[in-house]
Chains A and B, each alone.
Chain A
Amino acid sequence: GAVVSQHPSWVICKSGTSVKIECRSLDFQATTMFWYRQFPKQSLMLMATSNEGSKATYEQGVEKDKFLINHASLTLSTLTVTSAHPEDSSFYICSAKKWAVPYEQYFGPGTRLTVT
C-alpha cells in the first residue's frame, strides 16, 4: 500500500495566528513530499516540493516566509501557515512519492483551513 495521512483534517484559527499541518507517509518512506492548495472549484496548485533534510523548493508566487515547510524525516513533512489571514483559507493537500514508483504521487486526505 501507499497511505498518506494528514493532521488535522480541519482547523479553524484566528487571523494573525499560526497553524501547523502534518503530512505522514504511513507505510513507506517518501523520497519527496509536495504541498498543494486547492480553492473551491479550482485546480490543485503546487506550492512547494520538499526532500528530507533539505530546504523546500517553492513555486513562483508562494511566500516561503509565510508557508514554512519542514521535512524532518522520510515519513513526515509539516506545513506551517504563519500569521494566517482569511485569504489563506483553503484546502491544503500533501502528497508523497516513493522510490520504487517514480511517477506516481500518493495524496493525503487534505486539511481544510478556515481563518476567521
Chain B
Amino acid sequence: EPEVTQTPSHQVTQMGQEVILRCVPISNHLYFYWYRQILGQKVEFLVSFYNNEISEKSEIFDDQFSVERPDGSNFTLKIRSTKLEDSAMYFCASSEGGRSISYEQYFGPGTRLTVT
C-alpha cells in the first residue's frame, strides 16, 4: 500500500540553525500539507500546498518557514532560523483532492525536531 514517507525520523539542531524536513507524498496525490505537534499538545495545521503554491497557511507559518516541491516527488519544509519553541513532531500529509472523493489526508510517520 502506498504511504507517505518522511526523513529524517529525528533531527537535532542548535538554535538559529536552518533545518529542512523532507517528505515524499503518495505519488498520485495533488495536495500536500505540514502539521506539527508540540509534545503533549494537539496537532496543529501549518500549511497546505497545491499546484506549486501555498493554498493556505496558519499564523504559526511565519517568515521563518517555507515549503517547496523541488522535484516531482519531494515536498520540503524549511525553517530558516530555528527557535527552542520549534521543537515538535512535524507531520507531512497528502491527499488526492481534485474530483476524487478520497480526499482524506494520509500522514507520514513524522520527524521529531529537537532544538537545543
A binds B: no
Task: Write the residues of chain B forming the contact surface with A, with a CB cutoff of 8 angstroms.
Answer: none
Task: Write the residues of chain A forming the contact surface with B, with a CB cutoff of 8 angstroms.
Answer: none
